[in-house]
Structure 1
């Protein structure tokens, strides 16, 4: 690969084409959807030629999967790996998400959005979305176990489902749903974790 490359208008560009393509995909996929975004538009926004794009990605399918992997590769490590929060606090902090995106609306979860648009369960992006959702539920269950939940796997699934529901409802109604979801989560967590002094059943 050469030191410099030429973009669509034959303007010499520096290195970093892959990063520009990913940034363009993050912008366009979230603004107008995956299916409505073509490679020509992606290349134009990223200021790279299609030849350069296909040197970094075998096709749009691979690009969509890589786009998803950029969001949260370590499954909320910034939250779950914190040492200043108790396990219970971590479970509730999952719902303390800042508003972002157009009009300060929390965008629809990119994994859900991709699954809605892509109907092929064997598509690399579908597999990536599925793997992430399974990993998130597992991380919630692990934290629930640390918090002393009697059935951590069940609580993890409940919180994962509640999180996805809040994301979708926020997007559909154009209203922030995470505070309500956080209140429901607190009830689920408190019901799942025995009060101090209560002996667990063997």
Structure 2
């Protein structure tokens, strides 16, 4: 970086500032939480001035919302959009790849206002995630796809919360429970004769 690319006090400016701010928010919000992260700290980690930060984001609320929007905008496409896996296996694959520390749950816990943009995003995301599970359960010919989708969504959220609180991985146990739920919900005649991902 040349001296011309630096602003006052040596802070970087111009190109990439927005991405650096979002990168800093991802690091700091994830490591220490939203409420414990101040704007001065975000600016320091991003290498921008407060003026630059406010040129890109009207305030912390807007930054929090954009931070969440970037996590999984297409609802786990690396699982749900796979054409090489039958629907039953996609339902189980979610437990292999789902983030153990769900940022949407963390944001909803930290932010009390139900109308806050981050809370609205978290709620919308969780509903959309359950809908993708239900849609996949329907493709797998589950007896009650809505019920199975909700059960798996609840199991995922529980595993994520438990992993966060106990600082341990609860997803192996959740995956075993999910396999039982899926086996009970999908008639054997409808289940494809393929090996599970866990074999």
User: Normalization by structure 2: what TM-score?
Assistant: 0.89
1:185 to 178, 186, 193: 178
1:148 to 141, 146, 161: 141
CA positional deviation for 1:175: 2.2
Moved over 6 A (4+): none
2:122 equivalent to 1:129:
yes
Moved more, 89-98 or 16-25: 89-98
Residue of structure 2 equivalent to 1:139: 132
Distance 1:197 1:74, change over 3 A: closer
Q: CA deviation at 1:7?
A: 4.8
| Corresponding position of 2:30 | 30
Hey, what's the Cα distance between the residues in 2 that align with 1:107 and 1:87?
22
CA shift at 1:168, angstroms? 1.1
Structure 1 residues 107 and 177, CA gap change in structure 2 (3 angstroms): closer
Check the 8 A contact 1:6/1:49 in 2, yes or no: no
CA, structure 1 residues 8+122, in 2 after alignment: closer, same or farther (shift >3 Å)? farther
How many residue pairs are counted as aligned between the two chains? 188
Q: CA deviation at 1:107?
A: 4.8
Change (3 A) 1:57 1:142: same
The normalised TM-score by structure 1 is: 0.88
2:45 corresponds in structure 1 to 45
1:115 Cα deviation after fit:
0.4
Give the match for residue 195 of structure 1.
188
RMSD of equivalent CA atoms: 1.9
Instruction: Give the whole-Å Cα distance in 1 for the aligned partners of 2:7 and 2:41.
Output: 13
**Cα deviation 1:104-132 (Å, max 9, x = unaligned):** xx652100000000000000000010010
In structure 2, distance between residues paired with 1:160 and 1:197: 22
1:137–1:157: 8 Å Cα contact kept in structure 2? Answer: yes
Equivalent residue number for residue 120 of structure 1: 113
Aligned partners of 1:197 and 1:155: how far apart in 2?
15
Structure 2 unpaired stretches of 5+: 192-199
